[in-house]
Chains A and B, each alone.
Chain A
Amino acid sequence: DAGVIQSPRHEVTEMGQEVTLRCKPISGHDYLFWYRQTMMRGLELLIYFNNNVPIDDSGMPEDRFSAKMPNASFSTLKIQPSEPRDSAVYFCASSAPDRAPYNEQFFGPGTRLTVL
């Protein structure tokens, strides 16, 4: 298995532009998590899905952030408009249904976002 796939790996954009980050979870996993990591705040959970349905989005910082999961093999995290303070590494993770209640998560390599 290829593991969790994220694209792009690096993104540099200018303030005000729309940014879309993509994630393909491990096949068969029914949980998908989006995290953000910065030096100041560490690793923060933004939102997670179960069977393509958003379960908890309390970590989404503001309305500029949105996440979708149109099918079991694809999710997007969108920032519109982007701001310099959104610069961070964004991770996607997935976990398998048959591992409950342990639910260890498998993380992707991350997308490093820089907003100028």
Chain B
Amino acid sequence: DAKTTQPNSMESNEEEPVHLPCNHSTISGTDYIHWYRQLPSQGPEYVIHGLTSNVNNRMASLAIAEDRKSSTLILHRATLRDAAVYYCILKETSYDKVIFGPGTSLSVIP
């Protein structure tokens, strides 16, 4: 499985933008980049995914480097409810499963 590398933890001030980085230098051409997050005492929830182009949805934006070796999840205005562990995952097109790494623990400071 292609691996991802994320910082263990990050801090952000409330109402500020947050950029969560992810390195995936061994990504293959058929790997999708998925992001999930896990709020305290809850199951993970899907945030966003992309292949080559930048993506936006109601939760976040995903910026993918041109060489696809890295990506950044962008929360445009962090709220206290965004404090969670964020997982960056590579999912092969032909595989059904995803493998979770340790993720980045995001703290939001009021």
Residues of A participating in the B interface, judged by any CB pair closer than 8 Å: 4, 31, 33, 35, 42-45, 48, 50, 55-56, 91, 93, 101-110
**Which of B17-25, B39-47, B62-70, B71-79 sits within the interface?**
B39-47
Beyond A42-B101, A45-B97, A48-B96, is A104–B44 a contact (Cβ under 8 Å)?
A: no
What secondary structure prevails in chain B residues at the interface with A?
Answer: loop
- A sample of 8 more A-B contacts (CB under 8 A), given A42-B101, A45-B98, A107-B45, is A35-B100, A42-B100, A44-B100, A93-B44, A103-B96, A105-B98, A106-B45, A108-B43
Q: State whether B96 touches A55 (Cβ < 8 A).
A: yes
Question: How many inter-chain contacts with C-beta < 8 Å in the A-B complex?
Answer: 55
CB<8 Å pairs between A and B, sample of 20: A33-B97, A44-B100, A56-B97, A91-B43, A91-B44, A101-B93, A102-B32, A102-B34, A102-B49, A102-B91, A103-B91, A103-B96, A104-B34, A104-B46, A105-B98, A106-B45, A107-B43, A107-B44, A107-B45, A110-B42
